[in-house]
Amino acid sequence: RIVAIDGPAGAGKSTIAKALAVSLSIPYLDTGAMYRMVTYAALRDGIDLKNESGVADVAKRMNAVMSSDRFFVDDVDVTDIIRGPQVTEAVSTVAALSAVRNELRVSQRSWVENAGGGVVEGRDIGTVVFPDATLKVFLTASPSVRAQRRVAQSGGDVVVIEEQIRQRDHLDSTRADSPLRESSDSLFIDTTDLSIETVVKQIASSVNSIESKSNE
């Protein structure tokens, strides 16, 4: 049982994916945090982010541990720092490197296999990582609402944040390797005017109806 949740920054993916995982009683995997952990480790080691094999080596070498809500790289708790401005600004550059994506894709697939399924959140989960997921969801929201949500979560100036989000979305959707793209068979939800609860219920009921159809 795999639910793939993709969409741009601030569409509500994390909040919704976490709540959905609880409601379906399956594990939750935040793949954006994995790209953030690699970015953190590459910056820590002073690796030029355009040095693809150098950054991929860091991804291979680092010991990344994810618990339900904390993230550790080489035994350091990086939960807060991976959401900070330095990592956030650099992460799209790292996420565009194919050698890094190949590395993380393997980890993501084995994580889900070991966990026996999960709600997996990212940009290329339904299109590339788990094209045969039970359900693929594409979440979006208007850019200004996405920026307002980020500001409510982590502070900052809404105009600046909106511009950063637009830049990151542009990089994420125009890169050559597995760009952010809606899969043709995904459930598309615009969360601009919807509550978290409504969206979670809608996705959970889609999963249940898919599963009851396949059990018929």
Give me the least distance between CB of 207 and ligand DC, in Å please: 20
Structure tokens at 153: 């979560």
> Is 123 exposed, middle or buried, given 0-12, 13-18 or 19+ CB atoms closer than 10 A?
buried
Q: Which stretch binds ligand DC (CB under 6 A): 30-38, 62-70, 150-158, 199-207?
A: 30-38
Choosing from 2, 4, 9, 37, the residue that interacts with ligand DC (CB under 6 A) is 9
Order of strands across the sheet that contains 28-30: 28-30, 118-122, 2-6, 135-140, 187-190
Interface characters, 47-86, with ligand DC (x: CB under 6 A): ----------------------------------------
Q: Which stretch binds ligand DC (CB under 6 A): 59-67, 91-99, 131-139, 196-204?
A: 91-99
Choosing from 4, 5, 19, 36, the residue that interacts with ligand DC (CB under 6 A) is 36
Choosing from 95, 100, 112, 199, the residue that interacts with ligand DC (CB under 6 A) is 95
Q: Which stretch binds ligand DC (CB under 6 A): 16-24, 31-39, 64-72, 134-142?
A: 31-39
Report strand pairing: 187-190 vs 135-140: parallel
The residue (of 24 and 33) whose beta carbon lies closer to ligand DC is 33
Cβ atoms of 175 and 96 within 8 Å: the answer is: yes
The count of C-alpha atoms lying within 13 angstroms of the C-alpha of 175, restricted to the half-sphere facing its C-beta, is: 20
Look up residue 178 and give its amino acid.
Answer: S
Instruction: Give the whole-angstrom CA distance, residue 213 versus residue 71.
Output: 37
Contact residues toward ligand DC (CB under 6 A) are 9, 31-33, 35-36, 91-92, 95, 122-125, 168, 172
